[in-house]
Amino acid sequence: MNTIEKISVLFDFDGVVMDTEAQYSVFWHQIGVEYLQHDYLEQIIKGQTLTTIFNTYFKGLEDQWETIDGKLKYFEQHMNYEYIDGFEDFMHDLKKHGVMTAVVTSSDEGKMAAVYAAHPEIPQLFDRIFTAEMFTKSKPDPDCYLLGMREFGTDAAHTFVFEDSFNGLKAGLASGATVVGLATTNMADDIAPLCHHILYDYKDFSFDKLIELNERKHS
């Protein structure tokens, strides 16, 4: 692989671009306890769309979906959105080398509107932003990442997926892409079997190092 080949990098959002997963863990833990008497709901739903969460874990509570959705929207409007350390510099390096980039998130457009209010530069930072409304199957299905490859016209050998959740990492692997795991949400040892490389943040990471790890994968 070299810089003249068509390369795409697909980023999950929460826990990968923004350091928000700890906040979501608090929210979904409270929801799980309140509605399901479930002590670790937050651990098993990460990376999944709200529709999948409702259909999978809140069957029989359909009359509560609107209330929970309202609580979530209010929560997202008041979250703190801060970049993972080093992310902006890494993005500038990718842009300098002509790499196509996208957010591929299980969040919906309403949540992303709250993000744009806090960070108006986000829509211009990426070439594309794919939200939950744009794909039919939730992670761990690779549908969302395959969509990104189709839209950019890249194959798995020239695509990188950055993920933090177990469901997202599984989706990345299933897509065939080179998967970089962020140890921002789960322990590095726990995500190691589901990715080709682990980062704790983006400090000192670069386009050149990205290409090196992909070459090691295919050597």
Q: Say if residue 4's pLDDT is above 80.
A: no
| 0.85 surpassed by pTM | yes
Q: Say if residue 1's pLDDT is above 90.
A: no
Burial (0-12, 13-18, 19+ Cβ within 10 Å), 80: exposed
| Overall fold of domain 8-20+84-218 | Rossmann fold (3.40.50)
* Per-residue pLDDT reduced to its tens digit, 32-84: 999 999 999 999 999 999 999 999 999 999 999 999 999 999 999 999 999 99
pLDDT for 3 equals: 41
pLDDT for 213 equals: 86
If you average pLDDT over every residue of the chain, what do you get?
94
* Encoded tokens for 150: 């189709």
Between the alpha carbon of residue 73 and those of residues 77, 80, 114, 218, the distances in Å are 6, 14, 9, 42
The domain spans of the chain are: 8-20+84-218, 21-77
How sure is the predictor about 216, in pLDDT bands with cuts at 50, 70 and 90? confident
Percent of residues, the chain, with pLDDT higher than 70: 98
CA 8 to CA 159: how far, in whole Å? 5
Q: What one-letter code names the amino acid at 213?
A: L
